[in-house]
C-alpha cells in the first residue's frame, strides 16, 4: 500500500448509511467525549463510526497502515503503523479521547514488521512474550497495554449495540431439523475448542465436522472446504453444510468480535453451503437488510442463535425452504 495521505484536520460529515443506522434504535454510547476507533480492514470501522455519529458523538479514526480502507479518510483520521502505540496514545490524549474501539480485520503480524516507536521499544520484552500464544493471548495483552496508556477500551457492541446480530431466522430461507442439529453441534465444537484458543468457526454437514477454523481465518477455511469438495475429499449434496461461528468461551468481547456481512454470504454460497449460523448478539452486522437480501438471493439461511439453545431458536423445525 502506498504511503497514506497526511491526517485530516477537520471531521467531515458522516459517511453513507448514518441515517439508516440512526433509525435502528440503538442505545446511547458508553462514555463521553470523542470516540477513538482503531480501524483494521473491511467496512465495519465505518459502520461503528456512523452509529456513533448518529448518536451525536465525535469520532476520530486511527487507521492502521496496510489494513484500513483509504475510504475511511472521509472521517477525521490519523494513519499509524501497528508498532506506534506511543504515537496513538499521545494523539488520543491530546484530543481528549478516553474511549477506544478496536474493530476491523487484522492479520497477525510478525514481530519484526511492527515498526516500533520509543514507547513500544521499552515494552519489547513484554510484547515478545505476547506473541508466544494464540490470538486471544496476543489481543488480551494488547488490550492491557492500551489500558495502561490511560484509555478505556470498549467493544464495538458497546459503542454501537444496534449493529449486533439479532436473534432468529433473518431471511426467507429456514434451516431443516438436521441443519439445526448441525448448528447445535457447531456451537458445541466451538465451546470445546475455545480453551485452546483455536478459532471461532466450524463447518458441520449432516453431523460431520468437515472444517475447523485455525490461524487461517474464516475466508481461508471456506476456501479449504471448497477445495475439498472440488477434489472429492468431501462428498456432499449441492447445498449442504452450515457455517457456524461464535465468540470463544471466555473471550473478551471488546476485541475480535466476529463480524458478518454479504461477503461471508457470497463465500458460503460459492462453496456450496446451505446456510450460516452465528451467535445472536455475538457478531456485528453493519447492515441487516443488505445481509438478508444477499442471503435470500443466494438461497442460504442466516440464523442468529441463542447461546445454548440452537434448536429452539433456529426456526420452526420444518424442512424445506432452503
User: pTM for the full model?
Assistant: 0.71
Class of domain 164-314 (CATH, top level): alpha beta
Containing H/E element for 178?
helix 177-193
Q: Higher pLDDT residue, 56 or 110?
A: 56
Query: pLDDT of 45-59, one tens digit each?
Result: 999 999 999 988 999
Mean pLDDT of 8-20: 33
Classify burial at 130, counting beta carbons within 10 Å of its beta carbon; exposed 0-12, middle 13-18, buried 19 or more. middle
Q: 56-65, 137-146, 276-285: lowest mean pLDDT where?
A: 137-146
CATH number 3.40.50.20 given to 18-161: yes
The reply to whether 18-161 and 164-314 are identical in fold is no
pLDDT digits (tens, 9 = 90+) for 141-186: 666 676 777 788 888 888 888 899 999 999 999 999 999 999 999 9
Mapped onto helix, strand or coil, the DSSP state of residue 295 is helix
The residue extents of the domains of the chain are 18-161, 164-314
Would you list the DSSP string of 115-142?
---HHHHHTHHHHHHHTSS-HHHHHHHH
- What's the grid cell of residue 190? 466451538
Number of C-beta neighbours around residue 58 at 10 A: 16
Amino acid at each position: 500500500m502506498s504511503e497514506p495521505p497526511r491526517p485530516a484536520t477537520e471531521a467531515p460529515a458522516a459517511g453513507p448509511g448514518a441515517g439508516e443506522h440512526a433509525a435502528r434504535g440503538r442505545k446511547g454510547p458508553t462514555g463521553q467525549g470523542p470516540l477513538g476507533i482503531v480501524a483494521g480492514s473491511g467496512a465495519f470501522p465505518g459502520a461503528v463510526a456512523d452509529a456513533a455519529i448518529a448518536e451525536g458523538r465525535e469520532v476520530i479514526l486511527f487507521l492502521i497502515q496496510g489494513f484500513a480502507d483509504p475510504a475511511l479518510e472521509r472521517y477525521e483520521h490519523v494513519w499509524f503503523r501497528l508498532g506506534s502505540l506511543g504515537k496513538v496514545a499521545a494523539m488520543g490524549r491530546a484530543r481528549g479521547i478516553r474511549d477506544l474501539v478496536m474493530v476491523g480485520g487484522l492479520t497477525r503480524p510478525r514481530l519484526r514488521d511492527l515498526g516500533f516507536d520509543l514507547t513500544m521499544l521499552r515494552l519489547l520484552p513484554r510484547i515478545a512474550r505476547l506473541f508466544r500464544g494464540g490470538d486471544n493471548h496476543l489481543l488480551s495483552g494488547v488490550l492491557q497495554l492500551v489500558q495502561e496508556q490511560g484509555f478505556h477500551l470498549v467493544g464495538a457492541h458497546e459503542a454501537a449495540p444496534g449493529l449486533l446480530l439479532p436473534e432468529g431466522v433473518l431471511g426467507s430461507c429456514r434451516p431443516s431439523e438436521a441443519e439445526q442439529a448441525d448448528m447445535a453441534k457447531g456451537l458445541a465444537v466451538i465451546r470445546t475448542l475455545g480453551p485452546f484458543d483455536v478459532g471461532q468457526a466450524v463447518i458441520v454437514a449432516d453431523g460431520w465436522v468437515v472444517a475447523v477454523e485455525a490461524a487461517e481465518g474464516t475466508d481461508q477455511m471456506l476456501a479449504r472446504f471448497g477445495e475439498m469438495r472440488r477434489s472429492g475429499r468431501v462428498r456432499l449434496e449441492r447445498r449442504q453444510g452450515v457455517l457456524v461461528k461464535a465468540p470463544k468461551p471466555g473471550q473478551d468481547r471488546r476485541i475480535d468480535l466476529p463480524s458478518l456481512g454479504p461477503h461471508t454470504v457470497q463465500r458460503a454460497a460459492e462453496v456450496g453451503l446451505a446456510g450460516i449460523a452465528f451467535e445472536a448478539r455475538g457478531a456485528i452486522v453493519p447492515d441487516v437488510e443488505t445481509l438478508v437480501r444477499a442471503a435470500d438471493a443466494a438461497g442460504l439461511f442466516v440464523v442468529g442463535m441463542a447461546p445454548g439453545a440452537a434448536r429452539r431458536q433456529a426456526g420452526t423445525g420444518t424442512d424445506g425452504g432452503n
